[in-house]
């Protein structure tokens, strides 16, 4: 696949923030997204996995044109993503819509469900009156809710129902892609599979492209065609679902997989803390936690290299 055939394409994408410790501290640069390259074919799911602070939501905000990149390029449907003017942002909102982690926070508690789902279509002047009313009913049905739900308020719904409402709202503008940032993390485990299956159904019916973000490798593995393993703003490994799950090459991917498997039995997760993205380790970003780290890893940063087909890994070792 080339960037030209991808629905979403990122090249050398960077996002830095200036941060200051305390009121009079010196300001420093924080590298939240540090040079990402990836292509997402239309109708597929690209899964992004990584621990807290690895840059997942920052990348989501870039994809949603909510913030500008510091450098590099991001194309959606062949168009350069820009958060410049209001009109440009509006055009991108029609193309790419978000579904976020917490449906409690993302739905206005003062609005009825029907108004919440109708709002983006109203803002974009797509429909009004009875046509808008009917469309809201159809959207609610398409996510497995009764049209009568339109009269209710968010606090009258369960967490799973609320996330269905958030999905219905995202679909109103008939976007071509959804950015799903931890879409099931706030839900009971028993509800998570229902929402993931609903998202799969919707994708099959509408041919949508998904970028799915999760700290949970099991969720990403269930949903994705390709997976990027993010660590401190960089891909440690990038490949098809099977490359990453069945043939992981990077020690970090292996640690995530092991913790994902052991968590089911023991509740454990990856040991030791992720370093600060302000004081990055020299050489490989993962060296301070890597059981294989050598002198070379502390001095020389491994560049991503192909380990077969479109499977790439940023590690000096052949593991
Ligand atoms: N507006 C901002 N200003 C300064 N630093 C920021 C800003 N947004 C994010 N960061 C920093 O960028 C890094 C990446 O944050 P981000 O929210 O993208 O991580 P994440 O992978 O989504 O984490 P989580 O799993 O906790 O949601 C973090 O160190 C965070 O503190
Ligand atoms: Mg996040």
Contacts of 240 (CB under 8 A, 6+ apart): 225, 226, 227, 309, 310, 311
More confident residue, 87 or 77: 77
What are 175-233's pLDDT values in tens digits?
A: 999 999 999 998 999 899 999 999 999 999 999 999 999 999 999 999 999 999 999 99
All structural domains of the chain with their residue ranges: 8-313
pTM of the model: 0.94
Please report how the helices 159-171 and 129-142 are oriented relative to each other, as an axis angle in degrees rounded to 10.
130
Cβ count near 124 (within 10 Å)? 14
Ligand 1 within 6 A of 233 CB?
Answer: no
For residue 147, the CA-to-ligand 1 centroid distance in Å is 37
Q: What local confidence, expressed as pLDDT, does residue 26 receive?
A: 85
For ligand 1, whether the C-beta of 30 sits within 6 Å is yes
| Tens-digit pLDDT profile for residues 291-312 | 999 999 999 999 999 999 999 9
pLDDT for residue 2 is more than 60: no
Mean pLDDT taken over the chain: 91
Which ligand is nearest the CA of 20, by number? Answer: 1
Tell me, using a 6 A CB cutoff, whether residue 53 lines ligand 1.
yes
Tell me which CATH code domain 8-313 carries.
3.40.50.300
**Residue pLDDT, tens place only, 241-261:** 999 999 999 999 999 999 887
Tell me how far the alpha carbon of residue 151 lies from the centroid of ligand 2, in angstroms.
Answer: 32
- Residue among 228, 183, 192, 313 nearest 44 (CA): 228
CA gap 248, 241 in Å, rounded: 10
What pLDDT is recorded for position 257? 93
305 CA → ligand 2 middle, Å:
27
Q: Does the pLDDT of residue 87 top 90, yes or no? A: no
Say how many Å lie between the CA of residue 187 and the centre of ligand 1. 22
Sign of CA dihedral 45, 50, 52, 57: negative
Closest CA to 288 of 252, 313, 256: 252
Rounded to an integer, what distance in angstroms lies between the CA atom of residue 261 and that of residue 254? Answer: 11
Give 92's pLDDT tier (boundaries 50, 70, 90).
confident
pLDDT single digits (tens) 164-173: 999 999 999 9
Q: Which residue lies with its CA nearest to atom 29 of ligand 1?
A: 53
Q: How much of the chain exceeds pLDDT 70, in percent?
A: 94
Mutate which of 14, 56, 63, 64 for ligand 1? The one with the most ligand atoms within 8 Å of its CB, which is 56
């Amino acid at each position: 696949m080339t960037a030209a055939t991808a629905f979403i394409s990122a090249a050398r994408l960077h996002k830095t923030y200036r941060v200051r410790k305390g009121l009079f501290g010196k300001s420093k640069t924080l590298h939240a997204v540090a040079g990402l390259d990836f292509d997402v074919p239309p109708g597929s799911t690209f899964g992004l996995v990584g621990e807290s602070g690895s840059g997942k939501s920052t990348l989501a905000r870039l994809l949603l044109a909510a913030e500008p990149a510091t450098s590099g390029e991001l194309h959606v449907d062949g168009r350069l993503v820009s958060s410049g003017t209001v009109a440009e942002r509006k055009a991108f909102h029609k193309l790419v819509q978000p579904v976020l982690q917490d449906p409690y926070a993302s739905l206005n508690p003062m609005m009825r469900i029907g108004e919440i789902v109708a709002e983006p279509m109203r803002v974009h002047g797509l429909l009004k009156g009875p046509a808008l009313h009917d469309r809201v009913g159809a959207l609610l049905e398409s996510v497995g809710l009764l049209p009568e739900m339109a009269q209710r308020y968010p606090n009258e719904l369960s967490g799973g129902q609320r996330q269905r409402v958030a999905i219905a709202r995202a679909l109103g503008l008939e976007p071509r892609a959804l950015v799903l940032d931890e879409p099931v993390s706030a839900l009971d485990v028993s509800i998570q599979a229902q929402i993931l299956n609903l998202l799969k159904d919707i994708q099959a019916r509408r041919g949508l492209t998904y970028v799915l973000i999760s700290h949970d490798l099991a969720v990403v593995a269930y949903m994705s065609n390709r997976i990027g393993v993010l660590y401190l703003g960089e891909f440690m490994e990038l490949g098809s679902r099977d490359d990453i799950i069945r043939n992981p090459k990077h020690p970090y991917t292996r640690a995530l997989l092991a913790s994902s498997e052991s968590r089911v039995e023991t509740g454990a997760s990856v040991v030791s803390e992720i370093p600060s993205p302000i004081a990055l380790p020299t050489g490989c970003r993962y060296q301070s936690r890597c059981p294989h780290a050598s002198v070379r890893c502390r001095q020389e940063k491994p560049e991503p290299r192909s380990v077969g087909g479109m499977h790439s890994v940023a590690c000096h070792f052949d593991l």
